[in-house]
Amino acid sequence: MTDDPVELVIFDCDGVLVDSERICVRVDAEICAELGASFTEEEIVDLFVGSSSETYTAVIEERLGRRLRPDWFDAFQDRHQAALDAELTVVDGITEALDALSVPYCLASNGGHASIRQNLTTTGLLPRFEGRVFSAADVPRGKPAPDLFLHAAATMGVPPSRCAVVEDSPYGVAAARAAGMRAFGYCGGLTRPERLTGEGTVVFDDMRELPALLTERPA
């Protein structure tokens, strides 16, 4: 893994900037039960957090043993957003971390632009990322493919070897590794540390530690 200095930090959104995972896991459990596919919240964290919509649908279909309509999720979209609008907060320590960064940063999420913008607006983070938001809708493949991170880096004008990615899911960490970027796995939320560990990845549980970690030489 590269030991080039970090010139760009790429943040995931859900679970990294905004504390949405707990809310979404609860709502996902309700939705899956209504569809007839029961998942524990631990299973949802392991299988769904950080995944693409295609992966999300495929896992539910496998559990159900049948296909879902292409537009199946439309009926539940408002439920997710209503819960987020009512309960969403920033991840603990992220404001301090952003204030302490000495290099540019941006956001790259598997979520859609509309939901990303809404969640940043709800938490007051939108001004910090305005014009520097990248979605899986912008590229052929979302995470765990590297396309999204490579697109973000190219748009920001920084080589992949000089980018650091902050993620809280195995899908995101895998995408960072595939993109040739340093990965920082945040385990202060729902994801277990062992799900993030691996080559080229620093695992940490306090966002306030991130600025200092970014300046350390990779082991």
Give the domains, in start order, of the chain with CATH numbers.
8-19+88-215 (3.40.50.1000), 21-87 (1.10.150.240)
pTM: 0.86
The share of the chain scoring above pLDDT 70, in percent, equals: 98
188 pLDDT tier (thresholds 50, 70, 90): very high
Of 56 and 130, the one with more pLDDT: 130
User: What Å distances lie between residue 63 and 40, 73, 183, 197, CA to CA?
Assistant: 12, 16, 31, 28
74-91 pLDDT per residue, tens: 878 788 889 998 999 999
Q: What is the mean pLDDT of the chain?
A: 92
CA atoms lying within 13 Å on the CB side of residue 111:
25
Give the per-residue SS3 of 154-165: HHHCCCHHHEEE
Q: Give the integer Cα–Cα distance in Å for 210 and 214.
A: 6
